């Protein structure tokens, strides 16, 4: 489809304006550019979307909250961190998106994540808006009591801004079941309400959904499988490289094993492990989930099949499929070239924006099936929305029912992205398909609801 030149000009001007008005936020610029780069055909085909102000409104958060988080460590020393919640877009439902606790967190990171979340949540079809939050607090090496005091202080401000009909946070990097527990406890104490739907990722006995911990990793593997099936293949017998060793990576590895694939690697910020016999899931869970240890501990205990590569990049290990599941911009152009040289067939992003734009283009030029995070890792937020539905109904679904729903939703997202890409003249381009399909759903609601 040809693009009206004025659509492209409009988007280019907006791109410059966003850089000017949001200085020193490179990850936010990157996320916005990646979407704007694909929207020209849809603005050309649907003039109502080119209405002045629509895309501009979409790129400006509805609300941004920044707050002080003071807390005391076990020795009584006072620390001061910064807390964030960016409520980006609520045209489709309450803001929904995780909290990240990592020293790298700043406003630009939270805005990139919140922006991505708008489109991802729209793709699930589940009536959730986009938001994200977190803090520059580093939970590594902190005792449970320190993490609890930090979470309590964080919630003492955050509670004013969230609610089951307003804004529903969940976990992300550095925020798992332990942190959600402390956050929920403090929210309940301050508000004197049992409002289960205010946070997702809760424990199984107090409002959490079955399969929520597994959902992002399982979903990313299901997306990889769907992309391979388009090409007449599946995951059975394929080797896989996985980065990260947190929530998403662990359940990516679990699902790969369940589907007969052979996950060879995992990593953390110190280095990676390659295991010739395939990752031993029980040992990985013991080291990371139970002991909160390092990935080097896995290699030490696994025996001769595994080796730890300090500071190395997991992408140098040859494999059929790659599933980046750690953090943003962890896979660059050189890594992509190595993967392509080694014959990779599909890349499914479990993490948010892990692949730099040049690497995405390289994969696409080489004919590698590339599933962007907005689509491929949407299983986590989808099951979070199912957790909200269960909380509203005061019921709990069986694991089998949730997993069936997750599989259906991931299949629908794959089909939507695939068909949308074809409709706009970019067959096989899941980036374009995901961006345009997500955009259409949000834009239609924004247009219907007026200039707000």
**Phi, psi of 292, rounded to the nearest 5 degrees:** 50, 45
Report the distance separating Cα 327 and Cα 323, nearest Å: 11
- Tell me if 171 contacts ligand NDP by CB under 6 A: yes
Near ligand NDP by CB under 6 A: residue from 244, 263, 371, 372: 244
Q: Which CB sits closer to ligand NDP, 41 or 219? A: 219
Q: Which CB sits closer to ligand NDP, 61 or 176? A: 176
- Tell me if 241 contacts ligand NDP by CB under 6 A: no
Q: How far is the CB of 270 from ligand NDP (least distance, A)?
A: 6
- Tell me if 245 contacts ligand NDP by CB under 6 A: yes
What is the set of active-site residues?
A: 132
Q: How far is the CB of 233 from ligand NDP (least distance, A)?
A: 25
Near ligand NDP by CB under 6 A: residue from 27, 146, 167, 172: 172
Among 16-24, 31-39, 63-71, 264-272, which window interacts with ligand NDP (CB under 6 A)?
264-272
Positions 173 through 232 that interact with ligand NDP (CB under 6 A): 173-174, 176, 216
Residue 139 burial by Cβ neighbours in a 10 Å radius (0-12, 13-18, 19+): buried
Near ligand NDP by CB under 6 A: residue from 239, 327, 416, 435: 327
Alpha helices in 125-246, H assignment, sequence order: 144-158, 177-191, 212-230
Q: Give the CA diameter of the chain.
A: 65
Among 302, 313, 294, 253, residue whose Cα is nearest residue 277: 302
Cα 421 to Cα 21, 41, 78, 215, 436, distances in angstroms: 31, 11, 52, 25, 8
Among 16-24, 165-173, 334-342, 443-451, which window interacts with ligand NDP (CB under 6 A)?
165-173
Q: How far is the CB of 291 from ligand NDP (least distance, A)?
A: 13
Q: Which CB sits closer to ligand NDP, 247 or 265? A: 247
Near ligand NDP by CB under 6 A: residue from 350, 372, 433, 438: 350
Cα 250 to Cα 94, 217, 234, distances in angstroms: 29, 7, 21
- Tell me if 248 contacts ligand NDP by CB under 6 A: yes
Among 51-59, 303-311, 322-330, 397-405, which window interacts with ligand NDP (CB under 6 A)?
322-330
Which strand ranges, in their side-by-side order, compose the sheet holding 262-263?
Answer: 262-263, 239-242, 321-323, 346-348, 369-371
Helix (H, G, I), strand (E, B) or coil at 301: helix
Tokens of 424: 């706009």
Cβ neighbours for 189, distance < 8 A, ≥ 6 positions apart: none
- Tell me if 238 contacts ligand NDP by CB under 6 A: no
CB distance 222 to 346 below 8 Å: no
Q: How far is the CB of 22 from ligand NDP (least distance, A)?
A: 20
Q: How many amino acids of this chain bind ligand NDP (CB under 6 A)? A: 23
Positions 267 through 306 that interact with ligand NDP (CB under 6 A): 268-270
Alpha helices in 231-294, H assignment, sequence order: 247-258, 281-285
Among 330, 339, 424, 410, residue whose Cα is nearest residue 378: 410
Quote the distance between the C-alpha of residue 122 and its chain's center. 14
Report the distance separating Cα 25 and Cα 376, nearest Å: 25
Q: How far is the CB of 17 from ligand NDP (least distance, A)?
A: 27
Q: How far is the CB of 52 from ligand NDP (least distance, A)?
A: 33
Q: Which CB sits closer to ligand NDP, 331 or 344? A: 331
Near ligand NDP by CB under 6 A: residue from 93, 380, 433, 438: 380
Other beta carbons within 10 Å of 124: 27
Among 9-17, 72-80, 320-328, 415-423, which window interacts with ligand NDP (CB under 6 A)?
320-328
Binding site for ligand NDP (CB under 6 A): 171-174, 176, 216, 244-249, 268-270, 325-327, 350-352, 377, 380
């Amino acid at each position: 489809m040809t693009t009206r030149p004025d659509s492209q000009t409009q988007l280019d001007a907006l791109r410059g304006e966003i850089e000017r008005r949001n200085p020193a936020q490179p990850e936010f610029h990157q996320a916005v550019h990646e979407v704007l780069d694909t929207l020209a055909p849809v603005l050309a085909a649907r003039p109502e979307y080119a209405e002045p102000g629509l895309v501009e409104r979409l790129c400006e958060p509805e609300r941004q909250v920044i707050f002080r988080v003071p807390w005391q460590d076990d020795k009584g020393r006072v620390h001061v961190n910064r807390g964030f919640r960016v409520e980006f877009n609520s045209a489709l439902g309450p803001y929904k998106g995780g909290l990240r606790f990592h020293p790298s967190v700043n406003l630009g990171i939270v805005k990139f994540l919140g922006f991505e979340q708008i489109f991802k949540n729209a793709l699930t079809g589940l009536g959730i808006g986009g938001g994200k939050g977190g803090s520059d607090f580093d939970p590594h090496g902190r005792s449970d009591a320190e993490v609890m005091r930090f979470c309590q202080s964080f919630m003492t401000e955050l509670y004013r801004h969230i609610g089951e009909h307003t804004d529903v946070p969940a976990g992300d990097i550095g925020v798992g079941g332990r942190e959600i527990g402390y956050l929920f406890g403090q929210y309940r104490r301050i508000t004197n309400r049992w409002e289960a739907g205010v946070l997702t990722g809760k424990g199984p006995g107090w409002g959490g959904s079955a399969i929520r911990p597994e959902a992002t990793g399982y979903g990313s593997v299901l997306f990889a499988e769907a992309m391979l099936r388009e090409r007449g293949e599946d995951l059975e017998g394929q080797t896989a490289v996985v980065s990260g060793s947190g929530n998403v990576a662990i359940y990516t590895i679990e699902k790969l094993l369940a589907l007969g694939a052979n996950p060879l690697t995992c990593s953390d910020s110190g280095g990676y492990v390659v295991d010739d016999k395939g990752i031993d899931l029980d040992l990985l869970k013991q080291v990371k989930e139970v002991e909160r240890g390092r990935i080097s501990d896995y290699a030490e205990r696994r025996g001769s099949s595994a080796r730890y590569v300090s500071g190395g990049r997991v992408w140098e290990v040859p494999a059929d499929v790659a599933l980046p599941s750690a953090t943003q911009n962890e896979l660059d152009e050189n890594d992509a070239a190595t993967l392509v040289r080694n014959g990779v067939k599909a890349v499914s992003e479990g993490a948010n924006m892990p692949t730099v734009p040049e690497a995405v283009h390289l994969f696409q030029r080489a004919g590698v099936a590339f599933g962007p995070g907005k689509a491929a890792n949407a299983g986590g937020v989808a099951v979070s929305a199912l957790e909200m539905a269960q909380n509203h109904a005061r019921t709990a679904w069986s694991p089998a029912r949730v997993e069936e729903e997750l599989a259906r939703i991931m299949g629908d997202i794959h089909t939507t992205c695939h068909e949308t890409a074809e409709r706009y003249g970019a067959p096989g381009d899941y980036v374009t398909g995901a961006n345009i399909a997500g955009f259409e759903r949000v834009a239609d609601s924004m247009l219907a609801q007026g200039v707000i």
